[in-house]
């Protein structure tokens, strides 16, 4: 993770620190033997220890600063950096084990404070052992249930593939009342009427509309989907009415200004008590279910060719075969293959 990038920053300081340490050791030995006439052993005992101590005092803060800078600069995740460091240090047994070994080596150096380093080394060693044991216990407890859970469903099947609805309507939770018959909702009846009207005007029966609630939507929002793609969306308010301005009315209405989602006309969501006033002024007043049904009808008319699939073509041929069987048998597929016929009919739908 971040430690991989941090190593690039630490490496340069570590090499420079080692070189400075060797320079101090060689310089100290030279000063002790040449200027103070000390024997090699005495000079080494004095100046080498001083050089090592000076190196530790200088390198430990530099190491901490370099690691911190590397972690910050090379950080790419959104997780809190403190949690990342704690997770890398205190959830991996090997990290604690190596830390304890380094502390133990430092504690064994002559002249160093033995008790603090050795105590910390023992604490890190115990932490590494406890983490390793806990990981082994979790692995032993989790293997059997996981194997039992995976065994029945080990192989993928077509049952795992969720089919995409050709035509769908998703509503926010405040619009669920429009679908619930027990609460006076008549949206289902309106949609049946829209499909019947579409079949009479266009010439084929459209696929059914699958309605579901979607908690991710705004409570009063809805959207129309065609093969999983949003082709229309808007807002509706259950219990209120949309007053649509035909374009020439200047009378102001008290309510929420909006736009008719089907035809783009200026409109206003009004309370039920002002419905008669709006109608008297010349506004076209419709309820929320009618707004959704009209928008759905407009979308279906605009995407009629996309709704005309192979199953709709086959149903159309079966229906035609009832009163003109000879025409269907002589034409399809002897004269016109099904894919070509579907393409021709789709082009005709696009032109209308």
Are the beta carbons of 63 and 3 closer than 8 angstroms?
Answer: no
260 with 191, same domain? yes
Task: Provide the pLDDT for residue 313.
Answer: 92
Q: Does any domain span residue 262? A: yes
Q: What are the tens digits of pLDDT across the range 68-82?
A: 776 666 555 555 666
Residue 293 has pLDDT above 60, yes or no: yes
Task: Show the domain range for 249.
Answer: 167-307
pLDDT band (50, 70, 90) for residue 271: very high
Residue range 316-342: average pLDDT? 89
Return the pLDDT at 203.
92
Asked if the structure places residue 160 within a domain, the reply is no
Cβ neighbourhood burial of 121 (10 Å; 0-12, 13-18, 19+): buried
Q: Are residues 343 and 298 in the same domain?
A: no
Q: Is residue 148 part of a domain?
A: no
Do both 133 and 185 map to the same domain? no
Residues 336 and 230 placed together within one structural domain of the fold: no
Task: Flag whether pLDDT at 266 surpasses 80.
Answer: yes
Same domain, residue pair 301 and 315 = no
For the entire predicted model, the pTM comes to 0.55
Residues 108 and 175 in one domain: no
Domain identity same for 266 and 234: yes
Residue 173 and residue 217 share a domain: yes
Supply the pLDDT for residue 340: 92
222 C-beta neighbours (distance < 10 Å), count: 26
| Whether pLDDT at 87 is above 80 | no
132 plus 236 within the same structural domain: no
Same domain membership, residue 174 and residue 81: no
Asked if residue 227 is part of any domain, the answer here is yes
The CATH number of whichever domain residue 243 belongs to comes to 3.40.30.60
305: nearest Cα among 250, 256, 265, 346: 346
In tens, the pLDDT along 102-131 reads 888 888 887 778 888 889 889 988 988 888
Mean pLDDT of the chain: 84
The reported pLDDT for the residue numbered 289 is 94
Looking only at Cα atoms, what is the longest distance across the chain? 124
Is 153 among the domain residues? Answer: no
> From CA 295, how far away is CA 305, in angstroms rounded?
17
Give the total number of structural domains in the chain: 3
Judgement on whether residues 316 and 301 belong to the same structural domain of the protein: no
Q: Are residues 303 and 320 in the same domain?
A: no
Boundary residue ending a domain (91, 108, 143) = 143
In a domain, residue 60? The reply is yes
* Cα separations in angstroms, 233 against 181, 221, 300: 23, 7, 13
Residue 325, in any domain of the structure: yes
How far, CA to CA in Å, does 55 sit from each of 17, 25, 120, 294?
7, 10, 21, 81
Instruction: Give one word for 209, left, alpha or beta, with left for phi > 0 and alpha for psi -120 to 50.
Output: beta
CB 232 within 8 A of CB 223: yes
**Tens digit of each residue's pLDDT (9 = 90 or more) over 159-171:** 777 788 899 999 9
- Domain boundary pick from 307, 324, 340: 307
Domain-embedded: residue 152: no
Close Cβ partners of 57 (under 8 Å, ≥ 6 residues apart):
none
And the tokens for 52? 């090592």
């Amino acid at each position: 993770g971040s430690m991989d990038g941090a190593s690039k920053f630490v490496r340069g300081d570590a090499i420079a620190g080692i070189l400075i340490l060797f320079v101090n050791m060689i310089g100290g030995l030279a000063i002790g033997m040449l200027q103070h006439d000390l024997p090699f052993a005495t000079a080494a005992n004095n100046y080498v220890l001083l050089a090592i101590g000076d190196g530790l005092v200088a390198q430990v803060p530099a190491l901490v600063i370099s690691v911190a800078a590397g972690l910050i600069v090379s950080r790419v995740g959104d997780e809190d950096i403190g949690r990342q460091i704690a997770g890398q240090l205190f959830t991996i047994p090997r990290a604690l084990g190596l830390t304890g070994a380094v502390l133990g080596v430092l504690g064994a150096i002559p002249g160093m404070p033995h008790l603090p380093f050795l105590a910390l080394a023992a604490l890190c060693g115990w932490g590494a052992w406890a983490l390793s044991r806990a990981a082994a216990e979790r692995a032993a407890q989790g293997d059997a249930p996981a194997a039992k859970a995976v065994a029945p469903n080990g192989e993928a099947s077509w049952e795992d593939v969720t089919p995409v609805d050709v035509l769908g309507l998703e509503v926010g939770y405040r619009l669920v009342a429009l679908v619930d018959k027990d609460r006076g909702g008549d949206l289902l009846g309106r949609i049946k009427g829209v499909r019947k009207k579409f079949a009479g005007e266009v010439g084929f029966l459209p696929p059914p509309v699958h309605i579901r609630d979607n908690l991710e939507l705004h409570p009063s929002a809805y959207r129309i989907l065609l093969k999983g793609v949003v082709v229309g969306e808007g807002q509706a308010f259950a219990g209120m009415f949309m007053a649509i301005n035909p374009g020439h009315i200047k009378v102001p209405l008290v309510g929420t200004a909006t736009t008719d989602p089907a035809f783009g006309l200026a409109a206003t969501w009004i309370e039920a008590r002002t419905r008669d006033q709006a109608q008297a002024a010349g506004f076209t007043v419709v309820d929320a279910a009618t707004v959704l049904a009209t928008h759905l009808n407009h979308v279906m008319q605009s995407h009629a060719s996309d709704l005309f699939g192979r199953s709709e073509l086959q149903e159309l041929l079966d229906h035609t075969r009832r009163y003109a069987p000879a025409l269907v048998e002589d034409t399809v597929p002897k004269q016109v293959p099904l894919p070509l016929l579907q393409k021709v009919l789709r082009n005709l739908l696009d032109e209308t």
